[in-house]
Amino acid sequence: MKHLHINFFFALVVTLIFVACKDDNVTYAEELKAEQELIDDFISRQNILLVTEMPATVPWPDKVFYHNKKTGLYYRLTNRGDFYTKDSVLPGDIINTRYDQYTLDVKSDTISYHSTVNLTYPLKFRYMDYSQACKAWHEAVGYMKYNNAEAQLIIPSKIGFSTFSRPATPIAYDIKIRIQKY
């Protein structure tokens, strides 16, 4: 019995030494660099064209994304929504979202996949209340403007949900909004 305890203790010490020697000293700057490389690779694999001004035609041409270099958001409007009502989103409005969320990984582009499309209650947040959704979603809703608008987003971790901040992980969304006025 004494040998069993000694062997267990020895195995535990060896395991801890190997775990302690693992190189996890990746800096945040290195994470951000790897994240940008993943975004660039995704854009290349998907044949996405980046523009610095939003296209005037709706729906936007296929594979054309507006890149806001100041914030980092990549945005593509796929459906303008109910623009003819001229009743656009205002701060304080409740935004109901339906979305597909996916990673930008090489293997299948949907390794991590989450969808609210079939949920009874979609995700809701108050527009311009940054405690309720990530900065990128608020920016995107400001571009979408109208009820039933749809867009595609590529969101770097700095402006995304905190869940994806460490390690820095970019996330893509296909999103549709409904605006609830107050």
The domain limits of the chain are 26-180
- Give the bridge partners for 151, in sequence order: 77, 175
Q: Tabulate helix, strand, coil % of the chain (nearest 5).
A: 30, 25, 45
**In CATH, what is the architecture of 26-180?**
Roll (3.10)
CA dist., res. 92 & res. 117, Å (int): 24
* Cβ atoms of 179 and 146 closer than 8 Å: yes
Note down pLDDT in tens along the chain; length 182 residues: 454 444 444 444 444 444 444 456 889 999 999 999 999 999 999 999 999 999 998 889 999 999 999 999 999 999 999 988 777 999 999 998 988 888 898 764 444 456 665 666 578 899 999 999 999 999 999 999 999 999 999 999 999 999 888 899 999 999 999 898 87
Q: What 8-state DSSP symbol labels residue 48?
A: P
Helix (H, G, I), strand (E, B) or coil at 151: strand
CB atoms within 10 A of CB 9: 10
Query: Alpha helices of 90-161 — where are they, by DSSP H?
Result: 135-144
Position 152 scores a pLDDT of 96
Residue 105, token pair as written in the block? 């990984």
β strands within the chain, DSSP E: 49-51, 64-67, 74-79, 94-103, 113-115, 123-126, 150-155, 171-180
Gap between the Cα atoms of 2 and 36, Å rounded: 54
Q: And the tokens for 166? A: 């460490």
Does pTM top 0.85 for this prediction?
no
Q: Is 55 helix (H, G, I), strand (E, B) or coil?
A: coil
pLDDT at res. 123: 83
